[in-house]
Structure 1
Amino acid sequence: MTIVTQEAGAPFGAAPPSGDAALVTEGLTKRFRGGQVAVDALDLAVPRGSVFGFLGPNGSGKTTTIRMLLGLVAPTSGTYSVLGLPQARALPKVGALVEGPAFYPYLSGTANLARFDAADPTAPGGTAKRRIADALERVGLSAAAGKRYRNYSLGMRQRLAIAAALLGPRELLILDEPTNGLDPQGTREVRALVKEIAADGTTVFVSSHLLAEVEQMCTHAAIMRAGKLVAQGTIASLNGGLVARVRVETPDTADAARVLGTLGLADVRPSGGEVTAELGGHAPEAINASLVGEGVAVRGLAVVRPSLEDVFVGLTGEGFDVDG
């Protein structure tokens, strides 16, 4: 599915190579009445086979972007492509969960999926029973297939929604805030399910405002702020933009700082009862041995590695929900 509008949006930065991408946008922009810009010149490339985290605070343009990618909202300008196919051929290969599941509370999981399947004009009716059973098994709901939806836990409801998106073979799965409102157990269930789906070869595009969750689940990520793309790349490359630091807890901060400086560590910072410095290529155990050997009382030593939150704050000067 490729949409081209008359006005070309100005691209933001350089997107990764898009030759083997499941999703590509170029200058994608959505402006609502009154001049509000929800998405501003978005250049995005989602590699096939990735679990791609689409990050940003609530109101940063994530859901609007997803709606444009699914053809639910027309862009003001720019272009986008889904699976490199014409719209009629792309959409049957895409499963989506946007803004939470909606099911009949008094119907079972199986009955609800049967109604979803019947509403899909591209679904082969003769295989509906088998495909529904396969989808329920894939999300771990076979034992609860006959249970009424109103008796499902939040995690089970999200899994049923994902099952609805997997009733046919999908090359791309788009999930908008799939762990929103879930307790820790439900969050773990959905996280494990996303990883299993990706392991089978499906590209998974997950929007979220929870950085820690995306960091555990995704291979790649893009960060949005106020409708603009701030950064994108692999999780490792995004985290690699900041350096790891060693933190030493000690009552002997002056001596510890001296030893760390002698060892060649950069940016040594004593503060209160601890000293921090850039780790560089130094082994933590060697640092600890040197401190102890110089008579420094070490109460604790830890390596602090940058997180997606650190990356976001470093890029924008702001933070948003990390744990929900």
Structure 2
Amino acid sequence: MTGTPPDAGGAVLTVHEPMTRLTASAEGCSIVTRGLTKRFRGGQVAVNDLDLAVPRGSVFGFLGPNGSGKTTTIRMLLGLIAPTSGGWELLGTPMPGGAAGVLPRVGALVEGPAFYPYLSGEANLRRYDAADPSADPRTANARIGLALERVGLAAAARKRYRAYSLGMRQRLAIAATLLGPRELLVLDEPTNGLDPQGTREVRGLIKEVAAEGTTVFVSSHLLAEVEHMCSHLAVMRTGRLVAQGPISGFRELRAGGAVRIRVESPDTAEAAAVLAALGLEGIRAGDAEVSAELGDAAPERICAALVADGVAVRGLAVQRPSLEDVFVGLTGEGFDVDG
């Protein structure tokens, strides 16, 4: 079954569980997919009936646990593998028929950078640039110098690639995607394996490129990475799209979750009895700790009731669901939260 993707410009989060079909316009999108599906030999379904809408000018986070179908989707979008069924558009052009005209306007980093280790960063970019039939060789030096400067590698341009740190290698890979004017960047796990400093550098570069009007499509399994830089998100689970929309919608979903109050006390039985008497639900008692759904109760009233009943209160805290809790609820799996 296929359908029309949701309106990417809207402010509403679309949760596709159970799978729903919205019949709104996907105009103004850099990427649109309709029922995109990939089955491999043996019947394995890597991507199942994907309807995706990526607004122009957005930083779009494509999020999901490892093995959820993110890289397979990207490889189909770029024409590296053929889908089993479904269709897609890049920059308003149906694919794969329009690949020759569209792909020169798209920069991509898929499954890590590949460079010659004994060549310098500049020499590697020169080979990338020469392989682009649309690039003017007379302006190659200017393009390569600008790309290296943008990613902060101008000073290391003549250093051999094998001497680059992992962060420098990732930045050089992004420089290769920026050798020409790009309307769309597709980055598959661009901060994979980086230390916190390298991650911040790449994140800042992506924000800078997006501020210039380029749409950036970023695949990741790192929650902190996409939360800090993305304007829109899509969440995958075992090949299916389970939610997509502006990141504000995911934050609202988090805010709508159950808020709990946690009481640290050696008197767990007595504390649980007080919470029950106050009408709180979802009471859970553990080792020196009791929690319950807060509901409409005031935390200060709960604290006063516990003390008045002689319960020794060592600590009291209000706990709201994290964004990680939202994603685990959507996918049933954990995410790496360290960026």
Q: What is the TM-score of this pair, normalised by structure 2?
A: 0.81
- Residue 238 of structure 1: CA displacement? 2.3
- CA 1:139 to 1:34, structure 2 compared with 1: closer, same or farther past 3 Å? same
After superposition, residues 1-324 of structure 1 pair within 5 angstroms as 9=2, 12-14=19-21, 17-85=25-93, 86-242=98-254, 243=257, 245-251=259-265, 254=270, 258=274, 269=284, 271-278=286-293, 287-288=299-300, 291=303, 295=307, 297=313, 299-308=315-324, 310-323=325-338
Secondary structure of 2:262 counterpart: strand
Q: How many residues align?
A: 312
- Structure-2 separation of matches of 1:320 and 1:110: 36
Query: Could you tell me how far apart the structure 1 residues matched to 2:86 and 2:315 are?
Result: 56
Q: Which runs of 5+ in 2 are unaligned?
A: 5-18
Residues 153 and 34 of structure 1: CA distance in aligned 2, closer, same or farther (over 3 Å): same
Work out the CA distance in 1 between the residues paired with 2:284 and 2:296: 18
1:241-271 C-alpha deviation (Å, 9 max, x unpaired): 3426244343266558857985x97756554
Contact 1:256 1:291 in 2 (8 A): no
Q: 1:122 to 1:318 in 2, by over 3 A?
A: same
C-alpha displacement of 1:233: 1.6
Asked whether the equivalents of residues 235 and 242 of structure 2 are also in contact (C-alpha less than 8 Å), the reply is yes
Give me the whole-angstrom Cα distance separating, in 2, the residues matched to 1:234 and 1:273: 40
Q: Deviations over 1:60-117 (max 9, x none)?
A: 2111111111111111111101110343332121110001101111221111111110
CA gap of 1:152–1:272, structure 2 versus 1, over 3 A, is: same
Q: 1:26-50 CA deviation, whole Å, 9 max, x = no partner?
A: 1011122332222111001111222
In the alignment, the residues of structure 1 paired with residue 259 and residue 103 of structure 2 have an alpha-carbon distance, to the nearest angstrom, of 46
Relative distance call for 1:23 and 1:281 in structure 2 (3 A) is farther
**Percent identity of paired positions between Structure 1 and Structure 2:** 65
Which range moved further: 237-246 or 186-195?
237-246
The two structures have a TM-score, normalised by structure 1, of: 0.84
Shift in Å, 1:294: 6.9
Unaligned regions of 5+ residues in structure 1, if any? 1-7
